[in-house]
Amino acid sequence: MKTFIIVLVTFFMVNISTAMQEIEFIGDATKYKNVDEILEGIPFKTVGLEAYEEIIKKGKVVVFLYDNFRPNGVNGWVAKLFKATVNDFPDISFLSIKYDKNIEYSKYNKLGFKTVPHYIFYVEGKNIFSEEGGPANEEEYLEFIDVMKWNLKELNNYE
C-alpha cells in the first residue's frame, strides 16, 4: 500500500510539474522582450523566405510565421505552445520565419501565409494543416496546448 501511495504521489507531482511548465506564460508578462527570446533554446531553425520552399520538401516540417514584437500577445503565446511541445517530436523539423514589414505581404501570401502568427504543417512539401492566429486568452491557451500536442502527434504519425 505504501508503494502504491508513493507511486501515485510521484505521478501527480510529475504531472503538476509538467502542467506548470506548459502554462509558463501565466504571470510572466515581462519575462520576454520579444518572441525570439521565447524561441531560444528550442529546435527551431530560423529561415528566410528564399530557403523556405526547398526546406519544406524534405520530410515532416512545421513552419511558424511570427511577429517578433508581441511576446506577451498571440505571437508569444503560440511560440510558448511550441516551446512546451516541440522537444517531444525529434523527427519533425521546425522552422520559424520572422515577419518583416519591409517585405511585400504578397510574398508571404504566395507561400500560404494569410496572417501573423500562422503555422503550417508539411509532409514532403504538401500542406496538410494550417492554423492562423492563436489563443486569445489563458483559457484558450490551455486548450491550444492539447490541440497542438494532438496535431504534432498526427503529423509525427503521418505516412
- Spell out the domains of the chain, with CATH numbers in brackets: 2-157 (3.40.30.10)
The pLDDT value given to residue 94? 93
pLDDT of residue 4: 37
* Distance from C-alpha of 150 to C-alpha of 134, rounded to nearest angstrom: 15
pLDDT above 90: percentage of residues in the chain? 39
Q: What is d(CA 131, CA 114) in angstroms, rounded to the nearest whole number?
A: 9
* Of 7-11, 56-60, 110-114, minimum mean pLDDT range: 7-11
Distance in angstroms between the alpha carbons of the first and the last residue of the chain: 45
Query: Taking residues 2-27, what's their average pLDDT?
Result: 41
**How many angstroms from the chain centroid is the CA of residue 12?**
26
Give mean pLDDT, residues 66-77: 88
Q: Burial of 38 by CB count in 10 Å (0-12 exposed, 13-18 middle, 19+ buried)?
A: buried
The predicted-structure confidence for 123-137, as pLDDT tens digits, reads as follows 999 999 999 998 888
pLDDT on residue 37 = 93
pLDDT score at 97:
92
Q: According to the model, what pLDDT value does residue 30 have? A: 62
Segment 54-60 shows an average pLDDT of 93
Give the least confident one: 11-25, 27-41, 47-61, 105-119: 11-25
Residue matched to cell numbers 508578462: 29
Please tell me the predicted confidence (pLDDT) of residue 28: 57
